Amino acid sequence: MDSPFEGRLVRLRAKEPEDEPAFFRWINDHEVVEHLSARYPFSHAQEREWITATAAPGFGDASFAVETLADGKLIGNCNLGGTSPELRSATLGIVIGEKDYWDGGYGTDTMRTLCRFGFAEMNLHRIQLEVLAGNDRAKHVYEKIGFRVEGVRRDAHFRHGAYRDSIIMGLLEGELKLD
């Protein structure tokens, strides 16, 4: 892995305007956003605006499209946002929107690649995320690569008529498990 943007299965790249139809489809797919904070439909205009606003990755928001190494297929997006140079910390977000790529190791490889990039290229010391209680598949991936549960925000998310806990997880420099 010579490139900081490549893992074993995926490559992180800048988002392009032509990615918008896929992003629009994913953000409006109930199954894809089931465990995300998105709850209202998004328009094509909103997706184009989001791509434009986050098109140039930088320290403030290192936001990427995720494509497969094998055939360059766009399958998701991810970011390290809310970064703080003083604290050397960021908050991670990830969506693997192409459901045919769920449970195939692509999410795990994306997480490892993004975290490796954050520590090695952005000089981060800490990466954090929140996962909703009940999203066991994601929590398993996060723990597999080294994230630890740091706390719980009780009843922090309301979805489908019920409150759910939000689990706070963190990964420090040197804790990333590469295998």
58-83 per-position pLDDT tens digit: 778 899 999 999 999 999 999 999 98
Give residue 1's pLDDT.
53
pTM of the model: 0.93
Give residue 51's pLDDT.
86
At residue 57, does pLDDT exceed 80? no
C-alpha–C-alpha distance, residues 111 and 117, integer Å: 10
Give residue 25's pLDDT.
94
Give residue 153's pLDDT.
97
Percent of the chain at pLDDT > 70 equals 99
More confident call, 178 vs 171: 171
pLDDT band at 179, cuts 50/70/90? confident
Neighbours of 40 (CB within 10 A): 7
Instruction: Identify the architecture of domain 10-126 in CATH.
Output: 3-Layer(aba) Sandwich (3.40)
Instruction: Burial-class residue 37 by CB neighbours within 10 Å (0-12, 13-18, 19+).
Output: exposed
Residues 123-134, buried b or exposed e (16+ Cβ, 10 A)? ebebbbbbbbbe
Give residue 125's pLDDT.
97
- Report the mean per-residue pLDDT for the chain: 93
Give residue 154's pLDDT.
98
> What is the DSSP track for 15-38?
--GGGHHHHHHHHT-HHHHTTSS-
Contact between residue 176 and residue 146 where contact means Cβ atoms under 8 Å apart: yes
Q: What is the pLDDT of residues 17-36, one digit of tens each?
A: 999 999 999 999 888 988 88
Percent of the chain at pLDDT > 90 equals 76
Q: What is the pLDDT of residues 133-166, one digit of tens each?
A: 999 999 999 999 999 999 999 999 998 899 999 9
- Give the mean pLDDT of 96-123: 96
At residue 2, does pLDDT exceed 90? no
**DSSP label at 101?**
G
**At CA 158, angle to CA 156 and CA 163, rounded to 5?**
70
